[in-house]
């Protein structure tokens, strides 16, 4: 039963809006938005990575990582 539920969740997530995303651009825009609100966030550009995923979920994921870095690492 658990396996069926996990399969259903995976299929629903994939059908729900995965797109090709330039991960570097997503992170740069997020950092700019956070810096505009006064948070001490900077990005060092690196190699570009194109991934498939949900843009909103990825933005949330990296926003959480940045928030934790600020909260626990001061930057």
Q: Using the Cα atoms of residue 29, residue 75, residue 59 and residue 50 in order, give the sign of their dihedral.
A: positive
Cα separation, 59 vs 32, in Å, equals 13
Question: 0.75 cut: is pTM over it?
Answer: no
For residue range 23-32, list pLDDT tens digits in order. Answer: 999 999 999 9
Q: 3-class secondary structure for the chain?
A: CHHHHHHHHHHHHHHCCCEEEEHHHHHHHHHHHHHHCCCCCCCCCCCCCEEEECHHHHHHHHHHHHHHHHHHHCC
**Sorting pLDDT into bands at 50, 70 and 90, what band is 16?**
low
């Amino acid at each position: 039963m658990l396996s069926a539920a996990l399969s259903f969740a995976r299929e629903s997530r994939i059908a729900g809006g995965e797109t090709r995303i330039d991960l570097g651009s997503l992170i740069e825009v997020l950092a700019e938005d956070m810096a505009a609100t006064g948070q001490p966030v900077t990005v060092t550009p690196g190699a570009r990575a194109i991934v498939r995923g949900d843009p909103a979920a990825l933005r949330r994921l990296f926003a959480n990582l940045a928030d934790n870095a600020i909260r626990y690492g001061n930057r």
